[in-house]
Amino acid sequence: MTLSIDRVSISSQKQKIVDEVSLSVRGGEWYALVGQSGSGKSLLSQAIGQMLPANLQAEGSILFKEQDLLSLSSKQMQKIRGKKLSYIFQDYQGSFTPFRTISQHFDEYMRTHGLSSAKTREEKALDALESVGLDQALYRQYPFQLSGGQLQRVSIAIALLLCPDLVIADEVTTALDSVSGHRILALLAKRQKETGCAILFITHDWRHVRRYANRIAVMKAGKIVESGGKHRILDHPRHEYTKQLIQAAPTLGQGLPLGVKKVEKT
């Protein structure tokens, strides 16, 4: 098991926001955590990497490759985050410093994780850009010179650069138009297949869940109300909240936007 979350709660001084959530992500699978805004799913993903706001505290157990992440020091966590566990965020633009080139972002990321050879760092960065379908000329450009879709592709390239065991993708298509969003997820699925990583996919879009997920957990008001295999959840939902979400979703069977190819899960 790549990730095992056992009875994790997240609280402020005033209230409990996430209430004893348990779930597990297997190696190589695409696990979708679905819920409306405010359900607590993004806070849970932040707790995994010890990235919660200072006013929130997490309790319980988060085992990643048999190591309890909540018990680690900040320094120990830094060695894991990015190398073995990486994130792709909804606010991809906020992940980049505007006046540092794409090459400088790659370089800092790799130096942080111990790659000392400048030549090796550049070769790996250029290969990573090519792997997500970007021209290597973008390597010397600044973030503000790239489109939103290009920047999100760079985010994927960096997240998968060091072949992590788990990638947490938090609402990665929200800031993109429909066509760009579909292409980004098709690319992420392709790279997942190539690297063998597991993906914890935080989303509210059931169309993406149907296309890519292996298993699903549905979260409401800080609790998991239903979980199981994709087809069981989508075709035979048991909890009333899950039924409401699926019924309210855009037609799940609708086709892909023009020019976007479907990526089959294996």
Model confidence pLDDT, tens digit, residues 76-86:
998 899 899 99
pLDDT value, residue 258: 37
Q: 251 pLDDT band (50/70/90 cuts)?
A: low
pLDDT in tens, 140-165: 999 999 998 899 899 999 999 999 99
| Cα atoms in the Cβ-side hemisphere of radius 13 Å centred on 44 | 40
Q: How many CB atoms lie within 10 A of CB 83?
A: 18
Among 198, 148, 145, 190, which Cα is nearest to 173's? 148
The predicted model gives 171-188 an average pLDDT of 87
**Entry field: residues in the chain:** 266
Task: For residue 140, give the DSSP letter.
Answer: G
Q: How high is the pLDDT of residue 232?
A: 97
The whole-chain average pLDDT of the chain stands at 91
Mean pLDDT in residue range 41-45: 96
3-state secondary structure of 243: helix
CB 121 within 8 A of CB 110: yes
Q: Are 169 and 200 in contact (CB under 8 A)?
A: yes
Task: State the number of CA atoms in the 13 A half-sphere of 65 facing the CB.
Answer: 9
Compute the average pLDDT of residues 179-208. Answer: 92
Determine contact, residues 198/27, Cβ cutoff 8 Å. Answer: yes
Is residue 240 within 8 Å of 226, Cβ to Cβ?
no
pLDDT, residue 176, reads 82
Helices 118-131/148-159 angle, 10° precision? 120
CA distance 163 to 165: 7
The better pLDDT of the pair 95, 266 is held by 95
- 198-203 and 30-34: which strand pairing? parallel
- 11/31 Cα distance (integer angstroms): 24
pLDDT at 252 (0 to 100): 56
The two three-digit tokens of residue 210, written as one number: 């149907």
Q: Using 50, 70 and 90 to split pLDDT, how confident is the model at 40?
A: very high
Q: Does residue 256 have a pLDDT over 90? A: no
The mean pLDDT value for 99-125 works out to 92
Q: Which of the pair, 35 or 260, is modelled with greater confidence?
A: 35
Give the percent of the chain with pLDDT over 90. 79
Pick the CATH number of 3-94+162-248 from 3.40.50.300, 3.40.50.720, 1.10.3720.10, 3.40.50.2300: 3.40.50.300
In angstroms, the CA 98 to CA 142 distance is 7
Task: Kindly give, in sequence order, each residue whose CB lies less than 8 Å from that of residue 54, ignoring residues fewer than 6 positions away.
Answer: none
pLDDT score at 188: 94
The highest-confidence range among 70-84, 88-102, 146-160, 212-226, by mean pLDDT, is 212-226
- What is the rounded average pLDDT of the residues 179-196? 91
What is the residue extent of each domain of the chain?
3-94+162-248
DSSP state letter for 226: E
Which ranges of the chain does DSSP label H, i.e. alpha helix? 41-48, 74-80, 102-112, 118-131, 148-159, 178-195, 206-212, 230-235, 240-248
Q: Which two tokens stand for residue 71?
A: 């018990």
For the beta carbon of residue 61, count every other beta carbon within 10 angstroms. 14
The SS3 assignment for 7 reads strand
